[in-house]
Each structure stands twice: as C-alpha cells, then as structure tokens.
Chain A
Amino acid sequence: MDCKVFRERLDLYVDGELSGEELAGASEHLRGCASCAKAEAGLRHLRSSLKRVVNRHLPPPALEAETLRSIRSRKSVRAGRVIDEGHRDRTPVWRARVVMPAPLFAVLVLAVVALAGWLLFARDGVPARRTVQPGEASAESYFSGYYGGERASIKVVPRASLESSRQ
C-alpha cells in the first residue's frame, strides 16, 4: 500500500472499518512511513479532542427526572400496544376488541332477552289485517282483537241489511 492509497483509507483505518488484507497492508505501511504516521496521529488527536470537547457538556441536573415524570404521566399500555396521547391505535374498527365490565354486559343481555320476549308475546294478540270477502258476512258478524293494547271489536254488517235498515 502506498501513501496515496493509505490516505484514502485513513478514515476507515482509524474507525476500525478495515479488515483482512487491507488492514494488514495499512498497518504495514504505517510502520514504515513517518509522514502517514503523523497524519494518522493528527486524526486520532482530532477525534479524541472532539470527544473531550463534546463530553464536557452535562445535561441539566433535573432533565432525567423531568423526562421520567413525563413518561410516567402518560396513559397505559394495553396488550403490548401503546395507546397514550398523540399515538393512534392503528387497529381497524372492525377488528377492535370490545372490552366492557361484566355488570354492563349482563344488563345488556337481559335487555335483549326482554325485548325479544315482548316482541314474541306482547304483540301476539294483534290480529293480522284482513279483508272481508263478499258473501262471507251474510249476517252481522264481529271481528275482535287487540289494537295497540286495547281490545276492540268491529261489527260487520251486510250491505243488504244496512240498506233495508235505512229504508
């Protein structure tokens, strides 16, 4: 490896990104070249200075405690999915689990049963709408049943007897 190639590889060498033959070649060149050894030393000096300069800054003493307090104040996590503020639960509506307390569930079941019972039994007395056929009611007859919860009767009078009563 000559100086030109070594300088091109110098960053990789210092960063430990060389391996195998390239690493061996760079190390060998470095041992025999004072100029490149100085370049390498300068780069390492720059790196260590940078690290020292940046690391002398310390975070404000309360930052860690404040950050943890903010995190603890977030809402809970359920079933491995974060549901706290600012983050939408991405489960589609049709796949979402419905969670409700047992007493509410029992009340809902009772309500459904009661509604079904009312539909089956309370409305049972309501007669179907029907048409009186000609000749069916040759004499006076009554149809009765429950209408809106009240028992009602309809008196059917044959036309002939109606007309005779008018005369």
Chain B
Amino acid sequence: MPFERAERLGRFEEEAVPHLADVYRLARQMSDAQRAPDLTQETYLRAWRYFDSFERGTNCRAWLFRILHNVWADQHRRPEFEDAGVEPLAEPAYDWEEEFLNEELSGELEAALGRLPEVYRWAVLLADVSELSYREIAEVMGCPVGTVMSRVGRGRRTLARLLRPERVSERG
C-alpha cells in the first residue's frame, strides 16, 4: 500500500469512522432498519472518495451528515415536500399537559417521528439528536438558515401534535 494512501486511510479512520453509529442512526430514522446499513455504507464510500475535499479542523460529523443527506436524496428522488400528508401547523405554541413532562416517551415518539414529513424530520433530528447549529443544519440540507429555523420550529410542533394531539393545544 503506498504511503500516501495509507496515511489517507489512517486519517479517515481517525476522523470519519468514529461517527459511523451517528450516521447509521440518522439513516435509520430517514429510511428503515433494512435500508439504513446500505445508506450508511454508501455514505462512507462517498466520503472516502471525496475525503480530500474535507477541511481538517471542521466538523467531520456534519460533513458526513451532508453526504448522507445527498445519498438519501439521490435514492429517494422525490419533491421535497411530498410526504405522508401531514400538514405542519402554522402558528402553534407549546402548551404541554402536566403529565407530559414526567412521561417517558419511546415507541409512540418514534412512530410520530416516522410520520413527520421528511424535511421536518431531517431538521428536527439534526437539531435535537445531532445537536448541530442552525448554520450547520443549513449546510447539511443545502438551504438558508432562515429555512432551517422555520423547519425546526414547525417540525417540533408537528411532532408534538402527532405525538398526542390532545396533549398539545394550539394557541393562535
């Protein structure tokens, strides 16, 4: 193995490979358990191919998420807002019932997440699970920061409504 390639591979293993589980989890929420491994592997093969374009010192995890988003978009090839027909709320507020704060959410939350329109699901996952900044989410999704702001807010409110409609009231 030439030295140059060995060095590149070593750097890739050091910087990119530790984020494989995070990439997989995101891929799983954006597809399903069967397709997530393929999505993850394709993301890493593409990342390896373009690893020279990764700027050292920047957020490698966000860079991988951007590639995952592109791979996912290539495979889905559908208009951005085409989805399961769940309309996001326009002007909601967060008003939770008392017991919500103490309830452990699991299955119902994941089911609600699966019903969330994909653009909102991306935004919410990147903000809440991956904890990226709005600027980083904008780079991952290839949209302006203002759009991210709107998608995160609407996504969470829609998720809350899907989760337990009776628990979250709308307030104009």
Which chain A residues have a beta carbon within 8 Å of chain B's beta carbons?
7, 10-12, 15-17, 38-43, 45-47, 49-55, 57-60, 63-64, 66-68, 70-72, 74, 76-78, 80-82, 84, 86-87
Contacts and interface: CB of A to CB of B under 8 A. Distances in A.
Nearest to B43: A67
Contacts of B28: 57
Given A41-B101, A74-B48, A7 B134 contact: no
Contact of B104 (A49, A51, A86): A49
Given A46-B159, A64-B17, A59 B50 contact: no
Given A63-B40, A70-B45, A11 B105 contact: no
B5 A76 contact: yes
A50 B128 contact: yes
Contacts of B101: 38, 41-42, 45
B113 A50 contact: yes
Q: Which 4 A-B pairs have the closest CB atoms?
A: A42-B96, A59-B24, A39-B94, A49-B105
A55 B25 contact: yes
Interface residues of B, number: 52
Interface in B93-116: 93-96, 100-101, 104-106, 109-110, 113
Interface in B37-60: 37, 40-41, 44-45, 48-52
B129 A84 contact: no
B53 to A, nearest CB: 10
